[in-house]
Chains A and B, each alone.
Chain A
Amino acid sequence: MKDMQKPERSKSLFRFAAPQMFYPLAGRIAPWFAGIAAILAAVGLWLGFFVAPTDAIQGDVYRVIYIHVAAAWMSMFVYMIMAFWSFVGLVMNTRLSFIMSQALAPTGAMFCFVALWTGALWGKPTWGAYWVWDARLTSQLLLLFLYLGFMALTRAIEDPRRADKAGAIIALVGAVNVPIIYFSVKWWNTLHQGASVSLDKAPSMATTMLTGMLVMALAAWAYTIAVALWRVRSLILERERHTEWVAAELNALEGKI
């Protein structure tokens, strides 16, 4: 933050590791991904709600799958990406990597919550209960707690450098623990409950159903990228508010309004 001299214009992609360079790039890319997300979500939901056939056993209730599965996948991917950027940040000591992992966390937590919420709504008519202590549900819940812990820790530390590194460490510790938690919960579950809810046997799926799900998953990807980039932009402005380029940027914005 202290060195104010202009970064040299290198041709390498690494120049975008400087927040000052990344800020305009993110601003240019994000609307595209937001547009892609909107189109894909519209297509996916149309496929899911109008084109895909009604399930023989579950009826129309199963259609929550188009939101549920995409959210559940995304919540796990986002944690992995978060841990990846945390690792990169700790190794290369790049501020932008930490900012990236912190920008991803709220979206990941949101998807985690959406997956749990839609799962509960799906569970009531099909299993007769909003919640069962199934391995997947339980590990998803614990994943939500890991997200909340990460966000709470990075918010609680005032010094951004310490917040960055502390958050990165807890993200990595969490990433190491996620598979352990998953398998322990799975084993605990099989020990405690007999054959209760079998999610493993996927019924043969119609092609339109699968397409709808995949389109929704891609929409979730595009949404995450767009939102994370916008959040990165806000975080960069907040962190670099003492620098000249942010002052110039804000002045330009004010001029537009």
Chain B
Amino acid sequence: MSRALGPFAAVLGRDLLLAWRGRADVLVTLAFFVVVVCLFPFGVGAEPNQLRAIAPGVLWVAALLSTLLSLHRLFAQDHADGTLEQLLLTPEPTVLWVVAKICAHWIATGLPLVIVAPGLALLFDVEQGALGVLVLSLALGTPILALLGAVGAALTLGLRGGGMLLALLVLPLFVPVLIFGAGAVDAYLSGSGAQAHLLLLGGGLLGSLALAPLACAAALRIAVE
């Protein structure tokens, strides 16, 4: 057990330390999230009922876009300085440290969004009872985005115009997460209960946790080959 956790913890710790040292990057992602959310009232008008109706969708789309913007950083630096090749050469299972890297990435970029989201929801006059559902749906959903996005990030590693390509590759795959994530809050507000949506998100998280790292590891090997 501890033998398996050793490299996992090492990579997780290293990536978190790197994220902490370069916290300006992390804050930019967070600021992007906040700014995008705040733009919507200017676009659609500040009518409270309308804002309340679009709030879950807006928060979720903004979370999805800021995840997308930060994804390219997941492997790019390690690819540039050769760390990635060294990691692939180690006898440790690739999937293990890939999961560790995705975990660290989510803690650095996804978790802040989850924490900030209820505050932003209040700007849209969302009912206070729904804030818990919103946080829970984001906490379950954003790791799925990070896992799926990691596959795309590994596939587009080191390509010209990789960022745009990454968006084209992963955004269609994000649609179910968006539907169930924003749907959870809507379902709570409409009184039918968010349980089904949250269960599906949880199932999606477990499913992508099982499959996405495998695809991601294969994609990394292809990219470095």
State the A residues within 8 Å of B (CB): 142, 145-146, 148-149, 152-153, 156-157, 161-162, 165-166, 169-170, 172-174, 176-177, 180-181, 184-185, 187-188, 191
Closest chain-B Cβ to A159's Cβ sits at a distance in Å of 9
**A residues in contact with B156, CB < 8 Å:** 153, 156
8 additional A-B residue pairs with CB within 8 Å, beyond A149-B172, A174-B172, A187-B179: A153-B156, A156-B160, A166-B155, A170-B151, A172-B215, A184-B175, A184-B179, A185-B176
Task: Give complex CA distance A161, B224 in Å.
Answer: 12
CA distance A184 to B173 in the complex (A): 11
Q: How far, in whole Å, are A191 and B175 apart by their CA atoms in the complex?
A: 15
Check B165 against A166 for contact (C-beta < 8 Å): no
Q: Which of A173, A184, A191 has the most chain B CB atoms closer than 10 A to its own CB? A: A173
The chain A residue sitting closest to B169, CB to CB, is: A149
29 A–B contacts, CB within 8 A, in A order = A142-B172, A145-B168, A146-B172, A149-B168, A152-B169, A153-B155, A153-B156, A153-B165, A156-B159, A156-B162, A156-B165, A161-B225, A162-B225, A165-B218, A166-B223, A169-B151, A169-B155, A170-B151, A172-B215, A173-B151, A173-B173, A176-B211, A184-B180, A185-B175, A185-B179, A188-B179, A188-B183, A191-B186, A191-B187
Residues of chain A within 8 A (CB-CB) of B175 are 142, 181, 184-185
Q: Which of A145, A170, A177, A181 contacts B155 (CB 8 A)?
A: A170
- The secondary structure that dominates the B interface is helix
Complex interface: chain A residues within 8 A of B43 (CB): none
| B interface residues, how many (CB within 8 angstroms) | 30
User: What chain B residues lie within 8 Å of A169 (beta carbons)?
Assistant: 151, 155, 215, 218-219, 222
Is B129 close to A, CB under 8 A?
no
Contact of A156 among B152, B161, B176, B218 (CB under 8 A): B161
Known: A169-B151, A173-B151, A176-B211. A184 touches B219 (CB 8 A): no
Chain A interface SS verdict (over half):
helix
Q: Which residue of A lies closest to B204 (CB)?
A: A180
Give the residues in chain B near A165, CB-CB below 8 Å: 218, 222
B169 near A153 with CB under 8 A, answer: yes
On chain B, the residues within 8 Å of A166 by CB distance are: 155, 219, 222-223
Q: Which of A146, A172, A181, A191 contacts B176 (CB 8 A)?
A: A181
Residue in B156, B172, B179, B219 with the greatest tally of chain A CB atoms within 10 Å: B172
Instruction: Report the nearest A residue to B152, measured CB to CB.
Output: A170
A146 to B169, CA, bound (A): 7
Instruction: Report the nearest B residue to A157, measured CB to CB.
Output: B159
In the A-B complex, list the 9 residue pairs whose CB atoms are closest, starting with the nearest: A184-B176, A145-B172, A188-B179, A149-B169, A165-B222, A149-B168, A142-B172, A184-B179, A166-B155
Min CB distance B167 to A, Å, is 9
A112 to B179, CA, bound (A): 23
* CA of A162 to CA of B155, assembled, Å: 9
Q: Which of B41-96 contact A (CB under 8 A)?
A: none
Contacts of A173 in B (CB 8 A): 148, 151, 173, 215
A166 to B219, CA, bound (A): 6
Q: Is the CB of A177 within 8 A of B222?
A: no
A188 to B200, CA, bound (A): 13
The smallest beta-carbon distance between B90 and chain A, in angstroms, is 22
Q: What is the distance, in angstroms, from B36's C-beta to the closest C-beta of chain A? A: 21
Tell me the complex Cα distance, A86–B162, Å.
22
B38 contacts which chain A residues (CB < 8 A)? none
Write the nearest CB–CB distance from B137 to chain A, whole angstroms: 14
Is residue B171 contacting chain A, with contact meaning CB distance below 8 A? yes
CA distance A149 to B172 in the complex (A): 9
Name B157-200 residues within 8 Å CB distance of A. Answer: 159-162, 165, 168-169, 171-173, 175-176, 179-180, 183, 186-187
A161 closest partner in B (C-beta): B225
Smallest CB gap from A182: residue in B: B176
CB distance from A157 to the nearest CB of B (A): 6
Query: Contacts of A149 on B, CB cut-off 8 Å?
Result: 165, 168-169, 172
